[in-house]
Amino acid sequence: MPLYEQDLALVHAEGFGGYAEAALSALMPVLHGSEPPVRRVLDVGCGAGAGSKALVRAGFEVIGLDPSEALLDHARRAAPEGTFLRRSAYGEPLPPADAVVAIGEPLTYHALEADAGATLRAFFAEVARALPEGGWLMFDLIDAEGPPLSTRSFRSAEDWLVVSETVEDIVGRRLVRRIETFVREPGSDTYRRRRETHHVKLFARSQVIEWLEAAGFEPLLLPPLPEAARLPRRFALGARRAKTSAISPA
């Protein structure tokens, strides 16, 4: 079943862009101070474009990737100077770039039948191919260990309400998020109701660091990103493509 269809994409665009925008704004000094210079940034899992907008405003050429056409509609409005492509981060060659960012945990999404570890390792190898020596990869994930993440939450605005329940599957190292949206029909007091279920993979950070090194990166743990305090067990990694390592698929 497709994820982030029309109604949830609207809710995401209007209510959940602050984290990606704040996180990428905090990373701008690293990108601006990089050598070799960063000119083109690939925004993987760009969502509704909040992070892409921040990158464009900072003077970067931005290519955003996302499998949800509904989210990309919002991204194109948020950052019309960017280029946005409907596609997954996995299984296809990435466009050449000076830096790749994947903020807001887009790399946690994997098909249920997929080997998420193998998919992520292949992604790191492909990013290494797309980057120049010294190029940056920056992303965040959810740690497989720590306080329980099962919870219920809701958020509302004038024309929508979203209710979600998150259940942690410790054995499967994943979260199951059941999300219900209620969006007002235009010009009406009637709300339409939609449901989506998202399966989110959890990763041990030590293992992810090993995979990065095997793909030819020099990883480092980044400080907590802005607003991450309200998102338990999130961690962010920065990794530079090593200048002397041979890059080969994992």
**Helix, strand and coil in the chain, % to nearest 5:** 30, 30, 40
| Structure tokens belonging to residue 1 | 């079943």
pLDDT single digits (tens) 197-240: 999 999 999 999 999 999 999 998 888 788 765 688 999 999 99
pLDDT single digits (tens) 123-168: 999 999 999 999 999 999 999 999 999 999 999 999 999 999 999 9
pTM of the model: 0.93
Q: What is the CATH number of domain 6-144+204-241?
A: 3.40.50.150
Task: Find the radius of gyration of the CA atoms of the chain.
Answer: 18
| pLDDT range class, residue 250, cuts 50, 70, 90 | very low
Four-CA torsion 176, 231, 29, 244, nearest 10 degrees: -50
The boundaries of every CATH 2.20.25.110 domain in the chain are 151-201
Q: What is the CATH number of domain 151-201?
A: 2.20.25.110
Treating both helix axes as pointing N-terminal to C-terminal, what angle do 6-15 and 69-78 enclose, rounded to 10 degrees? 30
pLDDT single digits (tens) 77-101: 999 999 999 999 999 999 999 999 9
pLDDT single digits (tens) 42-88: 999 999 999 999 999 999 999 999 999 999 999 999 999 999 999 99
3-state secondary structure of 134: coil
The boundaries of every CATH 3.40.50.150 domain in the chain are 6-144+204-241
Query: Is 128:94 a contact under the CB 8 Å cutoff?
Result: no
